[in-house]
Structure 1
Amino acid sequence: MQFLETSFGHLAYKKHGQGKNYFLLFHGFGQNMKAYDLFLELRNEEECFLVFDMFYHGQSSWKSVNQRLTKEIWREIMVQLMEKEGFEKFHLVGYSMGGKFCLITYEIFPNLTQSLLLMAPDGIKTGFWYNMATFPGVLNRLFKHVVFHPKRFFRTMDALYSLGILQNSLIKFVKSQMQTRTMRAQVYFTWNVFKPLKPDLGLIIKYLRLNKTPVTLFTGAYDTMITTRNLKKFSSKVPQIITCELPCGHNTLIEDTFQHLKKTKKR
């Protein structure tokens, strides 16, 4: 385990391999770097994997909840990482929330990014939780109340499910992320600190087309959180993109992507 000590917080990561082709791997919300343990099997001798704990996850820490993580701060953090590890160009791998960090990183460093592998990336078409957290004023306070006092909210969700308005998979996902007070605090602080990180999709598409950056997009056929359909508008504007819909839901997409890549690698 290594730490990138910045003035904003400590970013934990593990370095696997000594190759000169660097891959930066970002996990999803509620996970940590162990989410990519399977992916380590895909690495060859010419590659180096840097697998991270995102802020508010695993061993990484953020100094102040009042300090938002902006694109400029993320740029500073990435430049510091490149200087420490001695690399310039890199590949990006990200799942869900980590996919949004890949998009942001590409937006900032389009000429340094050699490829993107995105698994159900957040940030292209945002969902309920992200939108609710970024609402101003009263609605933002409502989000905080829901996070720290969830019982009434859960009862409302169950009622909406009984009426056929909400899908059971969505309810299970939300409850799994908010089981304890610690987990609910992680939801609130993560979403608020990361609030400014909104990918400029128009600019990203422009860079992807201009640079012809290789992009592979994996989605789950049974994913109700980030669907293939919701990402279609984005993917249709990137001629070189390779899309792959796997027979899985949101929570197992990293594992299923690994199995797919492992099979194709053997061919």
Structure 2
Amino acid sequence: MADLHLMYLNHQNNTIHYIRFGSGAKLLFCLHGYGENSEEFRALAEQLDKAYTVIGIDLPLHGKTVWRQAEFLPPDLQLILLSIAEKEMPGTSQWALAGYSMGGRLALTLAQHYTSSITKLILLAPDGLKLNFWYWLTTQTRVGNRLFRQTMNNPTWLFRAMKWARKAGLLNQSIFKFSHRYLDDPEQRNQLYERWTLFRNFRPDTTLLSHLLKSSKLPALFFFGNYDRIITTRQGERFLQKSGTQARLYIIEAGHRLLKPAFAATIAERIYQQPA
């Protein structure tokens, strides 16, 4: 089992909580999914600890991280990674970067803006490869954000619309259940509003990313669940068609939750196989 250390970093007026797994010579940062925390990467880290020192970060408004700023920008996250790298491996300015689901969107955005910092990009069911109209409307427009706030306070109309869409076959059962997981409880709805709004500045440009992956020859590994109805393999296939030979796509016999211990060894094997 990988050695585990609970750590904190003061960043401006914020306190960042992170977990360090193992003590390998290479550095790997991991960004978790929505509503989760750095513990989600434990099983994968235990498969990688001989080669990597794995750093799992509790993102703002998640886990034990205390975030007091009104905004969270890509330069903030990059500076946090640089600060942790200097603390854990002095002199290190490059690292592998992994992101799962929402964390994948953050990782893609960092790869777009700070390509030279990344030695290997690992995306697990990553959000951000396809424009989500509702996310754009609720986070990028004033009217949409106001409606989002009002809906989270009183979601009756939304529940009715979702139920109608489900009966009409316009909303699959996986997304229906996934949505209710975060909408049924008032506190969860409030967190959804705050988190979506805070992370609104992480918007990867897939066309630019495709070009960057080609020109930089950055090794990129994309993992998708064969039965994932939330972020489908088709999204990855379309993106990789434009992204050159350095990008690899792997299909896991799983749904959306790729960080389950059952899949850790398979994913780790693919990471080891791809040189950085």
- Normalised to the residue count of structure 1, the TM-score between the two structures is 0.90
Q: Which of these residues, 101, 105, 108, is aligned with residue 100 of structure 1?
A: 105
Report whether the alignment pairs 1:165 with 2:170.
yes
Larger mean Cα displacement after TM superposition, 220-229 or 68-77: 68-77
Amino acid at match of 1:57: H
- 1:190 and 1:11, CA in 2 relative to 1: closer, same or farther beyond 3 A? same
Report whether the alignment pairs 1:156 with 2:161.
yes
Equivalent-residue separation in structure 1 for 2:204 and 2:82 (angstroms):
19
Amino acid at match of 1:28: G
Matched ranges for 1:73-222 at <5 A: 73-85=76-88, 86=90, 87-222=92-227
- 1:211 and 1:257, CA in 2 relative to 1: closer, same or farther beyond 3 A? farther
Equivalent-residue separation in structure 2 for 1:111 and 1:222 (angstroms):
34
Q: Aligned with 1:254: secondary structure?
A: coil
Larger mean Cα displacement after TM superposition, 256-265 or 25-34: 256-265
Q: Which of these residues, 10, 15, 23, is aligned with residue 15 of structure 2?
A: 10
2:237 aligned partner? 232
Q: Aligned with 2:71: secondary structure?
A: coil
Q: Aligned with 1:49: secondary structure?
A: strand
Q: For residues 227-263 of structure 1, what are the alpha-carbon distances to aligned partners after superposition, in whole Å with 9 as ceiling and x for unaligned? A: 121233321122221111222221x222264242367
Question: 2:37·2:58 contact (CA, 8 Å) conserved in 1?
Answer: yes
Question: 2:14·2:66 contact (CA, 8 Å) conserved in 1?
Answer: yes
- 1:265 and 1:89, CA in 2 relative to 1: closer, same or farther beyond 3 A? closer
> What is the Cα deviation at residue 264 of structure 1?
6.3
- 1:203 and 1:36, CA in 2 relative to 1: closer, same or farther beyond 3 A? same
> What is the Cα deviation at residue 25 of structure 1?
0.8
Equivalent-residue separation in structure 1 for 2:268 and 2:142 (angstroms):
48
How many pairs were matched up? 264
Question: 1:31·1:57 contact (CA, 8 Å) conserved in 2?
Answer: yes
Amino acid at match of 2:80: I
Question: 1:68·1:195 contact (CA, 8 Å) conserved in 2?
Answer: no
Equivalent-residue separation in structure 2 for 1:261 and 1:75 (angstroms):
25
1:249 aligned partner? 255
Amino acid at match of 2:197: N
- 1:93 and 1:190, CA in 2 relative to 1: closer, same or farther beyond 3 A? same
> What is the Cα deviation at residue 184 of structure 1?
1.3
- 1:7 and 1:266, CA in 2 relative to 1: closer, same or farther beyond 3 A? closer
- Normalised to the residue count of structure 2, the TM-score between the two structures is 0.87
Q: Which runs of 4+ in 1 moved over 3 A?
A: 262-267
Identity %: 28
Equivalent-residue separation in structure 1 for 2:14 and 2:117 (angstroms):
24
Structure 1, unpaired ranges of 5+: none
Structure 2, unpaired ranges of 5+: 1-5
The two structures, once aligned, show a CA RMSD in angstroms of: 2.2
